[in-house]
Amino acid sequence: MNWILIALIAAGIAAVVRIYFSLQKLRGERADDWDAKMIERVRSQGVDPFRAHEVDFFFALPDTAACEAVRSMLQADEFAVDIKPVADSSAHPFSLHASKALQLAVPDMQERSRRFRELAAAHGGRYDGWAAGATRER
């Protein structure tokens, strides 16, 4: 009887762990899917994906130290960065905006989003996504 109870508990724990990791995987896929959908939307508006477009990236950060750390990393990658205080947010009272002219390739944007989610989380913040602007003439 005790062995049956132990087996049931072990099976329950295994099920919970499997569900947890499945949800984590699904969460990552949804984020990547968002990038693909954004690029598809921009392309459907007649934008040439092979030309560089001004792309804006948005972060919500908790303090000036986090802002400066993220700013220095992004500027090292040649992003233009500006920071503004957000009055109505106590958890993330600073908004960091970074921009750079980039081609809109799905794998590249998915990788940037993944990297930026990790960067924001490492500094106690949140990555809020990106938006594409006008084409940059070369």
CATH number at residue 39: 3.30.70.970
Percent of the chain with pLDDT over 90: 52
* Residue 94 domain-assigned (yes or no): yes
* Residue 3 domain-assigned (yes or no): no
* Residue 2 domain-assigned (yes or no): no
- In this prediction, residue 79 carries a pLDDT of 97
Which residue shows structure tokens 């724990």?
A: 13
* Residue 52 domain-assigned (yes or no): yes
CB-based contacts of 113, cutoff 8 Å, min separation 6: 31, 32, 34, 35, 127, 129, 130
Torsion of CA 101, 106, 110, 112, to 10 degrees: -20
Q: Which has the minimum average pLDDT: 29-33, 36-40, 67-71, 117-121?
A: 29-33
Domain count, the chain: 1
Say whether pLDDT at 96 is over 70.
yes
Structure-model confidence comparison of residues 29 and 41, the more confident one: 41
Domain that holds residue 64: 9-135
Radius of gyration for the alpha carbons in the chain, expressed in angstroms and rounded: 20
Say whether pLDDT at 28 is over 60.
no
Mean local confidence (pLDDT), 3-17? 83
- Long-range pairs, 72-79, Cβ under 8 A, ≥24: 73/119, 74/98
Say whether pLDDT at 46 is over 80.
yes
